[in-house]
Structure 1
Amino acid sequence: MTGFWMTIYVLVWPLVTLTTLSVIVRAFFKEWRQARKEGRPIV
């Protein structure tokens, strides 16, 4: 039974990482599009 939970634990981390990365990337592109529309640099 311990092996099952260890497998679940190991497989969940890529999902957590992917979710976090996708939120960051979506926010970046939203800000980038808005900055381009307003004609200002993003940095």
Structure 2
Amino acid sequence: MSTLALTLYTLMWPMIVLVVMGVIGYAFFTDFKEARRSGKDII
């Protein structure tokens, strides 16, 4: 396996985690803003 392919494979996983955490964070803050606007608890 070439060095470039191994490097890209290694760096791919942190990028996938970053995207997933971004989606989860965006959904959380959207729900948080909606709960504050309606006066409800988030839990």
TM-score range, shorter chain: 0.7 to 0.9
Matches within 5 A, 1:1-43: 2=1, 3-43=3-43
Number of aligned residue pairs: 42
Flag structure 1 segments of 5+ consecutive residues without an equivalent: none
Runs of at least 4 residues of structure 1 off by over 2 A? none
> How does the TM-score come out when normalised to structure 2?
0.88
RMSD: 0.8
> How does the TM-score come out when normalised to structure 1?
0.88
